[in-house]
A and B are shown apart, each in its own frame.
Chain A
Amino acid sequence: MKYSGTAHVVGANIDTDAIIPARFLVTTDHEELGRNCFEGLEPGWVKRVHKGDILVAGANFGCGSSREHAPIAILGAGIPVVVAHSFARIFYRNAFNMGLTLLEAGDAVQGIHDGDRLEVDATLGVIRNLTQQTEIICVPVPKFMQDILGKGGLVEYVRERMAKDQRAR
């Protein structure tokens, strides 16, 4: 799982109301949610994003509600991977279920600046900062999570389980 793109840096304790405010939760459309990504942080924030760009955040990213709309809005905005100091628990699980890759980089995340060009290898847990010519080694995505990502998310995992249960009957 490799990604490359421009870093967009946001702060610590970014909550799900900042990622996608409740007033936008009246749809399940990925693109529409994507258009309103980070409206609760800064109106029009998403306009800076090009497809494939990388979000970089501080500690406790995604805290607050369980809304799956949050990782979907990020994916819908064209961002396939988030690098953060750390993540809130429900968001962490939701992201992998939806196919959004997350990497926890700890304090090293502070060395990444807005606009830096990054290359991320989530399997190895390596972030290369091409602008600053630095490298961050972090814990790779756990195998269990890689399997879910590999299947394209939790939906396919459950499909397989149901088929297996059917065969067992």
Chain B
Amino acid sequence: MPQTLAEKLLARSNDQGDVHAGRIVQCPVSLVLANDITAPFAIKSFEAMGAIKVFDPEKVVLVCDHFTPNKDIDSAQQVKVVRDFAKRAGIVHFYDGGESGVEHALLPELGLVGPGDVVVGADSHTCTYGGLGAFATGMGSTDVAGAMVLGETWFKVPATIRVEFSGIMPAYLEAKDLILLVIGKIGVAGATYKALEFGGTVIEAMEVEGRMTMANMAIEAGGKAGLFAADAKTLAYARAAGRTDNQEITPDPGAVYERELRFDVSGLSPLVACPHLPENVKPVEAVQNEVVDQVVIGSCTNGRISDLRRAAEVLKGRKAAKGLRLIILPATPRVYKQALREGLLEIFMDAGAVIGPPTCGPCLGGHMGILASGEKVLATTNRNFKGRMGSLDSEVYLAGAGVAAATAVAGHICHPGKI
């Protein structure tokens, strides 16, 4: 029987050909991930399980990225728990300090995840790796502790919503706009328990970084995974990241989808998700007079080099509006260094930006740009729930890097072509 990408990836992993939606499968995992917020609980569960060793010290990755560089004593204690465990368990891929970056930007560039992998992570945005043709999904700390011990976990094979994009991609449209388009259409629970599978000519032409931006926000529609075929672009990316034996993986013609959506992107305007849900999506023109106090460019959604380049195109030779705080967080040390080499950091500084270290920081209201009551932010991050980035009386707008940069210059939400 023809298979969707989700079915195929799960079947490859557990060597059972007949894997179809609805079936519960026990699967070996290629990689298990946790961060400085979720690992302490995973370690607690790991120890309560009576475990001493992880199933493979090369396949358990611990990244300290949420509250780092540590914002207070409690978060420092928490990272210490993770660091000590990593030492004790001989974890090879433990990232802290200057080696660390936002986990879902860091792992792909290090070649730790790639096409055909099955990855579970104690972080909801683990679905990012679907952009590389991996089946990757977020779970809680104890599920992840189980996978750290056993090297396997169970999944209910998800039904799939196929989403096709065609037409001519307008110059100012980004991958972020396409995923916001989908979330706006199906809603924040539109893909609950399901996989989103993306395809069409626009996706075929899209670079891997953009695909990861889209896969990243599958969870914002409730999705279990956001999947892309592994094609020549994926293989080139994986090779450059040092992975060998990468294979193309595509869904079978005739695979059964629960629902199919088609979008023509020609002539579309960039989109903005308005407070307080990612499904409150409007064209940028509809909110262009909204004055904001802060702009944040970064995160596992849009903190990669392609995002910084796009922001720099708009910011070059311009200044952030007076009174507006522009915060730019390159997602990884490598992205940071590349931005330095290309002169992007100088453009940002000349624009009046604060350039911070790679951290999740403000995205989850952790640190490095928390909002006071009554304040508004436009961010390239992924969630705009009430109080997400600070006070319960603050507001978060979500958009791509171009809109973010234009908004910083204008002082109000702005189309990058109208600056």
Contact = CB atoms under 8 A, between A and B. Distances in A.
Q: Do chains A and B stick together as partners? A: yes
Interface of A: 13, 15, 17-18, 21-23, 25-28, 40, 43, 59-60, 63-69, 71, 86, 88-90, 93-94, 97-98, 144, 153-155, 157-159, 161-162
B38 A63 contact: no
A155 B143 contact: no
A158 B145 contact: yes
B36 to A, nearest CB: 9
B150 interface: yes
B188 interface: yes
A93 B222 contact: no
9 contacts: A17-B385, A26-B75, A68-B142, A90-B140, A94-B139, A97-B142, A98-B142, A154-B143, A162-B150
A60 B41 contact: no
Interface residues of B, number: 50
A59 B190 CA distance: 11
Given A90-B124, A155-B142, A23 B49 contact: no
A40 B387 contact: yes
Contacts of A88: 189, 192, 222
Interface of B: 24, 37-38, 40-41, 44-45, 48-51, 66-67, 72, 74-75, 77-78, 121-124, 126, 138-143, 145-146, 149-150, 188-189, 192-193, 219, 222, 224, 277, 364-366, 383, 385-388, 392
Q: Which of A64, A71, A144 has the most CB of B within 10 A?
A: A64
Contacts of B143: 93-94, 97, 154
Residue of B41, B67, B149, B385 most packed against chain A (CB within 10 A): B385
B374 to A, nearest CB: 16
A162 to B, nearest CB: 7
A66 B222 contact: no
A154 B142 contact: yes
Contacts of B140: 66-68, 71, 90, 93-94, 97-98
Nearest to B52: A162
A15 B38 CA distance: 17
Contacts of B40: 28
Contacts of A97: 140, 142-143
B189 A68 contact: no
